[in-house]
């Protein structure tokens, strides 16, 4: 069992123990919002086993709808899971990799990813309808599909990582609320492929995404 699985198991056991002693009216909250994912990418790349010094990558921001389900298992404590329609991210060459264009196009490749972010947040309470919170947890990013660019036959692995969250809810009435939220998600994946424009030389790399996901939306308690 890896560290992330052990941490998650311990978290679930703690939630179960606390919820056994808590009786919260309308403990569930469903939220829907719109989010911007601003990536902070970095990369280490090698061609035919030889490191490429100064290799960097760029990944444009993505806008996407965000869905979240939360459960209040103790006063002020909420376990949350956030999902989004799987976005397609495009990885562009930067740094020393620009020196390979031409013959390369500058687009390394694309990946369709499905991130799942699970956190536990704590709020000290509501102040005139304003309830700030902070939390932490884990994320699991599934690489669903890859598309060739300068690198062909891309094979990228799924990835575990940590996640941190801060935000606030504004009460509209008994059930409805508005929210603003920021999550920092740490994601690092490894991949392999080949570069046809360079004679099919094998390529290996480790790419860090680390998006900051800022969202706003509405929530409903039930």
Q: For residue 15, what are its two tokens?
A: 């939630």
Give how far the C-alpha of residue 43 lies from the chain's centroid of Cα atoms, to the nearest Å. 17
Residue matched to tokens 């004679």: 199
Give, as one character, the DSSP assignment of residue 170. E
What is the per-residue pLDDT across 55-106, written as a single tens digit (0 to 9) for each?
A: 999 999 999 999 999 999 999 999 999 999 999 999 999 999 988 878 889 9
What is the per-residue pLDDT across 20-31, written as a single tens digit (0 to 9) for each?
A: 445 688 899 999
CA distances from 159 to 45, 144, 156 (A): 18, 12, 9
Q: Tell whether the model's pLDDT for residue 16 goes beyond 70.
A: no
CB distance 118 to 162 below 8 Å: no
What is the per-residue pLDDT across 113-146, written as a single tens digit (0 to 9) for each?
A: 999 999 999 999 999 999 999 999 999 999 999 9
What is the per-residue pLDDT across 207-221, written as a single tens digit (0 to 9) for each?
A: 999 999 999 999 999
Omega before residue 103 within 30° of 0, cis: yes
Query: Where does the pLDDT of residue 13 fall: very low under 50, low under 70, confident under 90, or very high at 90 and above?
Result: low
* CATH of span 3-221: 2.40.160.20
Helix (H) or strand (E) holding 73: strand 62-74
CB distance 170 to 178 below 8 Å: yes
Helix (H) or strand (E) holding 11: helix 3-19
Strands (E), 75-150: 77-83, 88-95, 107-122, 130-148
Dist CA 8 CA 25 (whole Å): 26
**Bridge-based pairing state of the strands 55-58 and 88-95:** antiparallel
Domain coordinates of the chain in residue numbers?
3-221
What is the per-residue pLDDT across 130-188, written as a single tens digit (0 to 9) for each?
A: 999 999 999 999 999 999 999 999 999 999 999 999 999 999 999 999 999 999 999 99
Q: Is the pTM of this model over 0.85?
A: yes
């Amino acid at each position: 069992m890896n560290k992330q699985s052990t941490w998650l198991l311990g978290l679930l056991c703690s939630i179960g123990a606390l919820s056994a002693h808590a009786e919260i009216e309308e403990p569930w909250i469903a939220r829907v919002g719109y989010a911007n994912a601003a990536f902070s990418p970095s990369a280490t790349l090698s061609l035919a086993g030889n490191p490429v010094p100064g290799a960097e990558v760029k990944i444009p921001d993505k806008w996407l709808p965000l869905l979240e389900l939360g459960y209040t298992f103790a006063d002020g404590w909420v376990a949350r899971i956030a999902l989004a329609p799987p976005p397609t991210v495009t990885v562009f060459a930067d740094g020393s990799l620009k020196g390979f264009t031409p013959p390369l196009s500058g687009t390394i490749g694309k990946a369709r990813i499905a991130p799942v972010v699970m956190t536990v947040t704590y709020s000290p309470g509501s102040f005139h309808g304003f309830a700030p919170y902070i939390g932490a947890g884990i994320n699991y990013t599934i690489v669903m599909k890859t598309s060739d660019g300068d690198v062909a036959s891309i094979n990228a692995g799924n990835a575990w990582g940590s996640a941190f969250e801060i935000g606030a809810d504004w009460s509209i009435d008994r059930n409805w609320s508005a929210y603003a939220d920021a999550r920092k998600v740490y994601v690092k994946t490894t991949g392999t492929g080949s570069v046809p424009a360079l004679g099919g030389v094998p390529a290996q790399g480790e790419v860090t995404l680390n998006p900051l996901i800022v969202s706003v939306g509405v929530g409903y308690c039930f």
